[in-house]
Amino acid sequence: MRWEAKHDRDAFKEVWLLFENAQGRFPLYPGESVWIEYAYSVGDEKWGRWFQRAVRLPTEHLEVQLAFPSALDPVVWGTETSMTATG
């Protein structure tokens, strides 16, 4: 899988995971599912008071593991937004 940096600033980073590699594209069609696992590290000098993770496609299960120093007194919260209108 390839990735592409959409925004790369000191205070904001956005990376898109692309369903393609050197051999070609491998799209995900309706009704199909995929397991994506990736990891990255951020140095102490880059962490602010928040961390945000956006998922833009319908997602049945999402697991995020974060390791923070206890001295930061981390707090976790989340929101969910539906892609369909309810009426």
Q: How many domains does the chain have?
A: 1
Residue 85 has pLDDT above 60, yes or no: no
pLDDT at 23: 93
Query: Which residue range is the domain that position 58 belongs to?
Result: 1-87
Q: Give the count of beta carbons closer than 10 Å to the beta carbon of residue 13.
A: 14
Model pLDDT, residue 62: 78
pLDDT value for 64: 78
Collapsed DSSP state (helix, strand, coil) of residue 18: strand
CB 35 within 8 A of CB 19: no
SS3 of 32-85: the string is: CCCCCCCCCCCCHHHCCCCCCCCCCCCCCCCCCCCCCCHHHCCCCCCCCCCCCC
CB 25 within 8 A of CB 19: yes
What's the whole-model pTM score? 0.50
Tell me the pLDDT tens digit for each residue of 37-78. 877 777 767 666 666 777 777 777 778 777 777 787 777 777
